[in-house]
Chains A and B, each alone.
Chain A
Amino acid sequence: MSEPVKTSVPFEPILTKYINEPNAHTIEHFLARGGYEVARAHVGVTDPATLVGIVKDSGLRGRGGAGFPTGMKWGFLAKGTGKPAYLAVNGDESEPGTHKDRHILEKDPHQLLEGVILTCWAIQSNHAFIYLRGEFILGYERLEAAVRAAKGKGFIGKGIFGTAFDLKVTVVRGAGAYICGEETGMLSSIEGGRGYPKIKPPFPAISGLFKCPTIVNNVETIANVTHIIKNGADWHKQWGTEKSPGYKIFCLSGAVKKPGVYEVPLGIRMADFIEQYGGGLVEGRAMKAVIPGGLSAPLLTPEMVENCTLDYESLASLGSMLGSGGITVLHDGVDMMSAIYNTMRFYHHESCGQCTPCREGTGWLEKLAHKHHSGHAAEGDADLLADVAKNMRGRTICVLADAAAMPMQSYLQHFRADFDARAHEPAHAARHRTARDEITPAAKRDSVLHGAPGVADVGMGNRE
């Protein structure tokens, strides 16, 4: 039943073109394919406003999750404040199901750096920070090496490309917290504090890193900049839809034959994408649901998938979101109660704990999900879940609370029968309970406070 991908213009991968070549991460490889020429042509030459204009016209939307128009964001940067402006590149990539930035960082870091240089010239910033998720060891090493190599060539540092423009690039590593991917959480972390998101307004473009005007963009967003400036806004708009122009990297995982990272034009049918790139569902399985844009995105039923195209507006109209581009296919054998419990464990683990509804709500959702998973739920627990999720939405500093509540709401909407079936079903619990499923925060905490080596005696007051 597979139809060919429908797109008016033929498409070849752009951002991921070289990721399978062994030495694509080296500066030699990058220079040999014309690397840094776009930056050299524009830095110190082209009016920055012109570059912002090109990115605006291209319709590029942020690839970090929210899909905010990039050029428009750049236009919001506060000017004439007497403070430096910063670029903060978000490479925290912690949204489950998402691993696209990782490929750019590990396999083609110079592509990102050229985008950083052009962006900094466009927004007139002399200092860019690139924040990496702590677990990205190889990505960190390769990016650091790339920064050193680019510095060695005079592309980063004082007077780059022989112009009067200075550019410092600082690579910062996180310590493995999902919340440090939220833009203001990331800024707090770069500042040296806990990764606590900040209240908006003020938005980072007005007052961000160290209270200075700051542009935050995702790695993939910035990697796009070079190609758009090189080829023009119209070139970018030849793919995709009116509101979602261009192409995007998707990470396909779950019950498909060929999971992987695929760069495709926006606007293609999701069903076609799964079929053509993923090779369809694994043998003998049917589709039960799809998580379309990273774990936070409300899931789609097979019927919804049929009507879905890979662009921001289609997913929004289905009550979900394109998000980070992490697509996970669940097959008909998946226990939805296990899936939602696992999902809730993640958000409970990752809530930063600042806001009451998120700090307390994520834990409550996990505990109730666990009850449904283990068959210990009582009648009314599913309604309670719905109410707790509702009480978390739109009431917090950042949208992690919503990101936790939305999947729960979508499971309740589409798989309510699965919840109800688990109320009072102890037999299921006996069959499925595993050590991993035990949520005993007290016991866990006791071991951290009293038992774990290196933790017990770090001070923190005389604790009991």
Chain B
Amino acid sequence: MSEIKQVNLKIDGRDVTVPADWTVIRAAHANDIDIPHYCYHKDLSIAGNCRICMVNVKGAPRPVVGCATPVAEGMEVSTMAPDAVEARKGVMEFLLINHPLDCPECDQAGECKLQDYSVDHGRDHGRFTEEKVRKSKATLGPHVKYWGSRCILCTRCVRFTDEVSGTGELGVIYRGDRSEIATFPGRALDNPLSMNTVDICPVGALVSSDFLFQSRVWHLHSNPSVCADCSVGCNTRVDLDAKDQIKRIVPRRNDAVNKEWMCDSGRLSFGYAYSDRLQKPKVHGKDATWREARRAALELLSGTNGSSVVVLVSAWNTNEAMATVKDFVSAEVAGARIVGYGNPTQQDQTFPGFTIRGDKNPNRDGLKSVLGIADADASLKALAAETAPIGTLLVVHNVPGFAMTAEFKAVLDRSENVVLLDFADGELLRYGNVAVALPTLTSFEKAGTFVNHDGLAQEFAPVMEPVTHGVPESDLFASLKQDARAATVSGVKA
């Protein structure tokens, strides 16, 4: 590896120093100097086709494109020189002549680069009075639709499928101002990363079938989060409407984790926050108050000899939850055995520019670091292989879309009583021997930390108010502990 040397240049009068193999646009952006761009994307190859990024370079006969012009020692770049301004204005006008300008019904409105740059760089009236070129609309795949007439042919989407997903479904068809984006004959845009094309489309040409017409974007508010769908832990932005309802999830840039990508499954898996939720505590299948339910749980946990209590903790729990479990067990059910489990690991799905992890648990690493469970699957397997009856099984679950395994069943079947902590009114709850069910929260409703496959601890905050009467595990165990203390002090030991 040869050392890349640094060069010094001036952009809009400011001295900047950047590696010699950078382009002007990269140097500008790294120094918070804006150069407008459509086709340029940090994580894709350079196409240089939109021509909006033109800047003036001292000594050059005409403006050059910032995205394809390498920096050089002593270079003097001006983004506001009259010829650069003029060039951008020309490009802006060309971009709009055949554009339908249907912002009122376009999903992109409000977060559209055509709108933004029109204001910043365009002219205030149109000079084009001819018939516009009409283009087709198409359903490119299960999640993505194409609005041809809005497309500015920046080819970001094509380069994404060529370079990041490597699936190559997309291409340009026809020529000149008749050009359109299309899938190759017989293909559909159906790769597991397909919706990233919607994010990187700078205009409303590629839209998400799932989000289409769901909301005007200016009615949404956003909160940062971390995706829990697999062990990558993509950084996300969760967009919610005025009723605090999640409308969509999009990636948030983190070059150490997910760049600016995430998988379709991750961005679409928020439905579990709204359906089949465990609304209230239950004791033997009947709704109960928190106090009743906690008392019932404590009875089952401390009423038995600690050695016949087993605690199952899933890899979907936060570090914080795991730590309170540990703390509670050592204080109240000393000697109880703690076993880990998770969603079964599948194959990694590896693409040229992204890997979706086969480990469909956000925090397997937490089990290791907080609870010392090096191999969760093995610990459950070992437990399942035993025959001794279990007095009370405490399950700290919180796994959406959990597929019951034979091993898990075997453990449940051996347990006299089950105390379940879960946010869902799901298969596990209905399995039969759940004596007490205590509602918890999804990761959208609570704060916590997940440690991703790479050992990176990522903290997140709630993005919305809880949908149910559930509480975070830390609060729940704190109350249980308090109840246990109160019971001993007042002598009302059950």
Contact = CB atoms under 8 A, between A and B. Distances in A.
Given A458-B185, A459-B186, A356 B94 contact: yes
Contact of B128 (A364, A395, A396, A458): A364
B184 A442 contact: no
A464 B95 contact: no
B93 to A, nearest CB: 7
B468 interface: no
Interface in A425-464: 440-442, 445, 449, 458-464
B153 A359 contact: yes
Interface in A193-211: 194, 199
A464 B176 contact: no
Nearest to A459: B185
A384 B126 CA distance: 12
A350 B189 contact: no
Interface stretch (B136-144, B231-239, B264-272): B136-144
B176 A395 contact: no
Interface string A324-362: 000000000000000000000000111111111101111
Contacts of A368: 130
A353 B176 contact: yes
Given A356-B91, A395-B87, A464-B136, A442 B131 contact: yes
The B interface is mostly helix, strand or loop, or mixed, namely loop
A360 B146 contact: no
A79 to B, nearest CB: 20
A461 B173 contact: no
Given A360-B177, A460-B173, A462-B139, A394 B62 contact: yes
A445 B136 CA distance: 9
Contact of A350 (B127, B130, B153, B176): B176
B51 interface: yes
A359 B177 contact: yes
Interface stretch (B42-50, B374-382, B389-397): B42-50
Given A462-B139, A463-B182, A464-B137, A362 B48 contact: no
Given A199-B48, A359-B153, A441 B171 contact: no
B441 to A, nearest CB: 40
Given A356-B50, A441-B134, A391 B93 contact: yes
Given A194-B172, A353-B175, A360-B98, A459 B90 contact: no
B155 to A, nearest CB: 8
Contacts of A127: none
B152 interface: yes
Contacts of A449: 136
A461 B182 contact: yes
B179 A441 contact: no
B183 interface: yes
Of listed A359, A396, A445, residue having the most chain B CB within 10 A: A359
A349 B49 CA distance: 18
Nearest to B61: A394
Interface in B444-486: none
B58 interface: no
B266 to A, nearest CB: 24
B97 interface: yes
Contacts of A348: 176-177
Contact of B153 (A353, A362, A384, A460): A353
B187 interface: yes
Nearest to A464: B137
Contacts of A59: none
A460 B178 contact: no
B63 interface: yes
B49 A355 contact: yes
Contact of A460 (B127, B175, B183): B183
Contacts of B153: 353-354, 356, 359
Given A353-B153, A356-B51, A445-B134, A459 B178 contact: no
A391 B128 CA distance: 14
Contacts of A442: 131, 133-134
B68 interface: yes
B54 interface: yes
Contacts of B94: 356-357, 359-361, 364, 391
Contacts of B189: 461
Interface string B419-449: 0000000000000000000000000000000
Contacts of A361: 94
B137 A355 contact: no
A243 interface: no
Contacts of B128: 364
Contact of B183 (A355, A357, A459): A459
B414 interface: no
B135 interface: yes
A177 interface: yes
A72 interface: no
Nearest to A178: B175
A458 B136 CA distance: 14
Contacts of B136: 445, 449, 463-464
Nearest to B175: A353
A362 B185 contact: no
A151 interface: no
B52 interface: yes
A367 interface: yes
B46 A199 contact: yes
B98 A363 contact: yes
B98 to A, nearest CB: 6
A145 interface: no
B133 A356 contact: no
Interface in B175-231: 175-179, 182-189
Max chain A CB contacts within 10 Å: which of B49, B87, B171, B187? B49
A362 B133 contact: no
A65 B335 CA distance: 88
A192 B302 CA distance: 73
Interface string B244-279: 000000000000000000000000000000000000
A395 B51 contact: yes
A460 B173 CA distance: 9
Contacts of A353: 153, 172, 174-179
B183 A391 contact: no
A445 B178 contact: yes
A391 B122 CA distance: 13
A38 interface: no
Interface of B: 46-52, 54, 61-63, 65, 68, 87, 90-91, 93-95, 97-98, 127-128, 130-131, 133-141, 146, 152-153, 155, 171-179, 182-189
17 contacts: A177-B175, A349-B175, A352-B176, A353-B178, A355-B51, A357-B51, A359-B153, A359-B177, A364-B128, A394-B61, A394-B62, A394-B63, A445-B136, A449-B136, A461-B139, A463-B182, A464-B138
Given A395-B54, A445-B178, 13 more contacts: A177-B175, A199-B65, A199-B68, A353-B175, A354-B49, A359-B177, A364-B97, A364-B130, A391-B93, A392-B90, A394-B62, A395-B87, A397-B48
Interface of A: 177, 194, 199, 348-357, 359-364, 367-368, 371, 384, 387, 391-392, 394-397, 440-442, 445, 449, 458-464
The 8 closest A-B pairs by CB, nearest first: A391-B90, A459-B185, A461-B138, A353-B179, A460-B182, A360-B94, A351-B176, A367-B130
